[in-house]
DNA sequence: AGTACCACCTGACGGC
DNA sequence: TGCCGTCAGGTGGTAC
């Protein structure tokens, strides 16, 4: 599930659990899904995680004197913090044994996730060519970015080097809230709509984080609560439709999204 | 630059 | 119950 809001919830979870405890041992279960450059996960043994950060869908765990961890989850993935003695979760890529009788697991069911070991988070941000985080860019930056892009709006929102953090689910949600069709050409979006797009982008992402990403806790008129073909639109009498945009399924209401 | 494919991998679900 | 095809919230590579 991990788009910006999911990863932000994970980040906050880690900030409240794993920081400042010595890392006693790191067990790597899927060495092919660890990307060490330079150093390796074992370099974290004896260190402790001291800080968390996030850029788009990437989560960072910085250690005191050792390397910085970059976590990416792919389409399925999460982190889990649990007591020593409890069973390790299935599909753990790596397990960190901490000094406080707890463990941290990085989980990726479909193995599309990855653990990066880097000197500092900026190294990975540069390497992956990540654009500004969707929650931290201001309106002028956003408008400038749109001015420089062509093509379909949904594709632009999902391009991580343009804006980092928005994926398939939340791009649909933002467009649904603004009332723009997913295939709408950027060039055909007027100034008022561009500003609304910026506001709704922030609004939707913040709302999802506050709801801890639970659709039940999000507003009733959110698309995420009715994301299936034929469902009734939460805003009018339209019916939710599913189409392909850039190879991904896009859900929208033809009634109010033009 | 944008788009359209394919590939990576596992699990869930619908149809028969 | 079991097998099969399809799909899933991401990214990277290639080719046009």
Task: Pick out residues whose CB falls under 7 Å from strand B.
Answer: A 90-91, 109-112, 149-152, 155-156, 159, 246-247
3-class DSSP state for residue A114? strand
Catalytic residue check, A248: yes
Sort strands A102-107 and A92-98 into parallel, antiparallel or unpaired. Answer: antiparallel
What pLDDT, on a 0 to 100 scale, did the predictor assign at position A39? 84
Catalytic residue check, A215: no
From the list A11, A54, A57, A194, the catalytic residue is A57
A45-99 per-position pLDDT tens digit: 999 999 999 999 999 999 999 999 999 999 999 999 999 999 999 999 999 999 9
Q: What is the mean pLDDT of residues A213-223?
A: 97
The conformation of residue A147, written as its DSSP 8-state character, comes to H
User: How far apart are the C-alpha atoms of A136 and A88, rounded to whole Å?
Assistant: 35
A191-210 vs A4-15: helix crossing angle, rounded to 10 = 40
Specify whether the CB–CB gap between A98 and A79 falls below 8 A: no
Q: Which residue is nearest to nucleotide B2 (CA to C1')?
A: A151
Catalytic residue check, A2: yes
Q: What is the mean pLDDT of residues A172-194?
A: 98
Q: What is the pTM of this model?
A: 0.97
Share above pLDDT 90 across residues of chain A, in percent, rounded to a whole number: 98
Q: Which residues, 6 or more positions from A141, have their beta carbon under 8 angstroms from its beta carbon?
A: A132
Q: How far is the CA of A127 from the C1' of B7 (A)?
A: 21
């Amino acid at each position: 599930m991990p788009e910006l809001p999911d990863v932000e919830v994970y980040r906050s979870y880690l900030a409240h659990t794993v920081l400042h405890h010595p890392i006693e041992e790191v067990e790597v279960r899927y060495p092919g899904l660890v990307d060490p450059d330079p150093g390796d996960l074992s370099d974290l043994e004896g260190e402790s995680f001291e800080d968390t950060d996030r850029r788009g869908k990437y989560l960072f765990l910085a250690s005191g004197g050792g390397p910085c961890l970059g976590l990416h989850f792919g389409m399925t993935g999460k982190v889990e913090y649990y007591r020593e003695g409890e069973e390790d979760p299935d599909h753990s890529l790596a397990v960190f044994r901490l000094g406080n009788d707890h463990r941290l697991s990085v989980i990726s069911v479909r193995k599309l996730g990855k653990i990066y070991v880097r000197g500092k988070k900026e190294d990975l941000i540069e390497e992956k060519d990540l654009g500004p985080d969707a929650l931290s860019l201001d309106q002028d930056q956003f408008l400038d970015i749109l001015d420089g892009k062509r093509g379909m709006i949904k594709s632009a929102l999902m391009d991580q080097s343009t804006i980092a953090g928005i994926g398939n689910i939340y791009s649909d949600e933002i467009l649904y809230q603004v009332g723009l069709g997913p295939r709408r050409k950027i060039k055909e979006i007027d100034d008022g709509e561009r500003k609304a797009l910026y506001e709704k982008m922030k609004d939707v992402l913040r709302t999802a984080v506050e709801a801890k990403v639970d659709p039940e806790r999000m507003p009733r008129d959110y698309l995420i609560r009715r994301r299936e073909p034929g469902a009734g639109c939460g805003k009018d009498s339209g019916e939710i439709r599913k189409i392909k945009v850039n190879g991904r399924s896009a859900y929208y209401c033809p009634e109010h999204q033009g």
